[in-house]
């Protein structure tokens, strides 16, 4: 990714035209059109999220906003002028939200030229992941066909790879897709322990030096950015620095805090526990799995008065008291994983959501999959239900909880009057692997659910159908090349 150059996919697209070769990613799915009339979906089981399930209900929406939700009343027919959709036997859920993805940034992991999720350099907070998104990625329609309509896109690589964004999984251009261009800063917290294994060639002393160097680099960057932000809010004129400028959002505004000069900007003067209200500060998404990593990251964020969201969080239950004290949310990185430690139970990853829920932590669930398999988000939640998580909590973890943690819950995440009409219609429980999404609406626009995998399915079903048809009505299947 690079905010200062042409996005990689744009270059590749031009190269494809000049060379006569097809572009690496070219989604031909039609984009959705703006809602042209009010829509009423009736006779379905409504799952509002955060409110009681409605067995035989309706959802009304107009101009992209939900106007009413409730139970069917035979004495109150839907007004004329609505597009009426009878969803008898179907279920309606909010559109699912992927809380940690690289959608639009990577296409085929084995093809380096199709991967644009990391910038050159270890500390690049000025980079916005959203600027490198390819709207024509074939993985976007595959993912939304499974009900995922929104996603957080996080850059990777280096210590501070850049800033996350939240996108709609439908749109002609990046601006069309953008929900939140700057959702927060991403930090890959370094390991805190040395590794003593047969495959590790670096001596432990050198590992420790590397760990200390990385930790110092992160804290120096945060301290420098905080001093820069304070100077700016104090109407001083510090030397322009694009990296510090890009980080001002994580500190919010110092105006009205009583901190008025650089002399009072020592990190120790920051409140030990950040204000849980997120109005003025963007979060820091910190990739951290181990107990020591989580503890250290949260301590540093508390020292500088920063909002922290732990991404991964395998050992988060062990830090529950610390996380609750500092109002830290957790994005679990999937359930389809093996235990990392030899002494961990086999179902360690499967039960993590239930353990976080029991601990009373604020959390949501990401798929934890490679981008090509991001469509498995609902299956990851279903696995958590199979291992002890309450069904409603699982639904919330991939809808409203994700929206709250990503800062878009005022518009998305639940079926509530006034919110965006972003929802899916399914033929069964969305957490059941046999479920199918039959309709989807994003901001009131009906989304085309065709995709490359469905096209390939139809193609090869047709191939085998033709192979069973005697050529010219006289031969046998074996007589045709397709029947060999």
Outline where 64-203 has alpha helix (H). Answer: 139-144, 174-177
Domains assigned to the chain: 96-412 (3.20.20.140)
What residue ranges of the chain have pLDDT lower than 70?
Answer: 1-26, 74-75, 107-121, 254-280, 469-484
List pLDDT tens digits, range 457-470: 888 998 888 887 66
Report the pLDDT value the prediction gives residue 422, as an integer from 0 to 100: 98
C-alpha distances in Å from residue 81, one per residue of 36, 62, 77, 78:
11, 11, 12, 9
Report the pLDDT value the prediction gives residue 118, as an integer from 0 to 100: 56
Place of tokens 């109005």: 279
Report the pLDDT value the prediction gives residue 483, as an integer from 0 to 100: 44
Task: Estimate to the nearest angstrom the gap between the alpha carbon of 192 and the chain centroid.
Answer: 27
Report the pLDDT value the prediction gives residue 311, as an integer from 0 to 100: 97
Q: What are residue 363's DSSP bridge partners?
A: 330
Pairing of strands 83-86, 39-46: parallel
Who's near 415: CB < 8 A, 6+ residues apart?
46, 47, 48, 49, 59, 66, 69, 92, 93, 94, 423
C-alpha distances in Å from residue 228, one per residue of 246, 249, 450:
11, 12, 49
The pTM (predicted TM-score) of the whole model is: 0.85
How does DSSP classify residue 215? H
Radius of gyration of the chain from its Cα atoms, rounded to whole angstroms: 25
Q: How far apart are CA 464 and CA 329, in angstroms?
A: 50
List pLDDT tens digits, range 380-390: 999 999 999 99
Q: How far apart are CA 197 and CA 211, in angstroms?
A: 17
List pLDDT tens digits, range 71-119: 988 667 777 789 999 999 999 999 999 999 999 887 655 555 455 555 6
Report the pLDDT value the prediction gives residue 450, as an integer from 0 to 100: 86
C-alpha distances in Å from residue 468, one per residue of 277, 290, 456, 458, 474:
65, 56, 19, 16, 12
């Amino acid at each position: 990714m690079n905010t200062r150059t042409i996005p990689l996919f744009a270059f590749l697209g031009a190269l494809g035209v000049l060379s006569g070769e097809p572009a690496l990613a070219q989604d031909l799915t039609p984009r959705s059109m703006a809602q042209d009339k009010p829509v009423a979906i009736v006779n379905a089981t409504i799952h509002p999220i955060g409110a009681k399930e409605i067995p035989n209900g309706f959802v009304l929406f107009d101009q992209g906003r939900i106007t009413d939700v409730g139970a069917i009343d035979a004495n109150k027919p839907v007004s004329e002028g609505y597009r009426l959709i009878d969803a008898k036997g179907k279920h309606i859920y909010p559109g699912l939200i992927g809380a940690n993805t690289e959608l639009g940034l990577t296409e085929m992991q084995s093809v380096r030229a199709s991967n644009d999720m990391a910038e050159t350099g270890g500390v690049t907070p000025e980079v916005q992941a959203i600027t490198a998104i390819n709207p024509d990625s074939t993985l976007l329609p595959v993912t939304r066909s499974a009900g995922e309509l929104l996603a957080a896109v996080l850059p990777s690589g280096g210590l501070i790879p850049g800033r996350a964004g939240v996108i709609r999984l439908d749109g002609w251009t990046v601006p069309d897709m953008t929900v939140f261009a700057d959702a927060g800063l991403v930090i890959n917290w370094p390991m805190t322990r040395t590794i003593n294994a047969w495959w590790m060639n670096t001596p432990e002393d050198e590992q420790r030096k590397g760990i200390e160097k990385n930790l110092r680099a992160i804290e120096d960057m945060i301290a420098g950015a905080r001093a820069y932000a304070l100077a700016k809010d104090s109407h001083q004129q510090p030397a322009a620095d694009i990296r510090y400028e890009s980080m001002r959002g994580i500190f919010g505004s110092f105006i009205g805090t009583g901190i008025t000069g650089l002399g009072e900007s020592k990190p120790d003067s920051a409140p030990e526990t950040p204000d849980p209200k997120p109005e003025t500060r963007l979060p820091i998404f910190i990739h951290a799995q181990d107990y020591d990593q989580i503890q250290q990251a949260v301590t540093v964020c508390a020292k500088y008065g920063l909002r922290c969201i732990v991404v991964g969080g395998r050992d988060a239950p062990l830090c529950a008291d610390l996380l609750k004290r500092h109002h830290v949310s957790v994005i679990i990185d999937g359930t389809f994983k093996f235990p990392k430690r030899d002494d961990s139970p086999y179902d360690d990853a499967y039960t993590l959501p239930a353990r976080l829920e029991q601990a009373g932590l604020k959390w949501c669930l990401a798929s934890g999959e490679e981008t090509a398999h991001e469509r498995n988000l609902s299956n990851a939640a279903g696995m958590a239900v199979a291992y002890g998580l309450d069904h409603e909590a699982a639904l919330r973890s991939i809808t409203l909880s994700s929206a709250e943690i990503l800062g878009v819950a005022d518009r998305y995440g639940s079926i509530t009057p006034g919110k965006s009409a972003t929802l899916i219609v399914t033929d069964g429980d969305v957490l059941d692997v046999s479920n199918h999404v039959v309709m989807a609406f994003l901001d009131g626009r009906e989304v085309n659910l065709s995709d490359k995998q469905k096209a390939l399915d139809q193609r090869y079903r047709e191939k085998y159908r033709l192979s069973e048809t005697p050529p010219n009505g006289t031969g046998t299947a074996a007589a045709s090349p397709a029947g060999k």
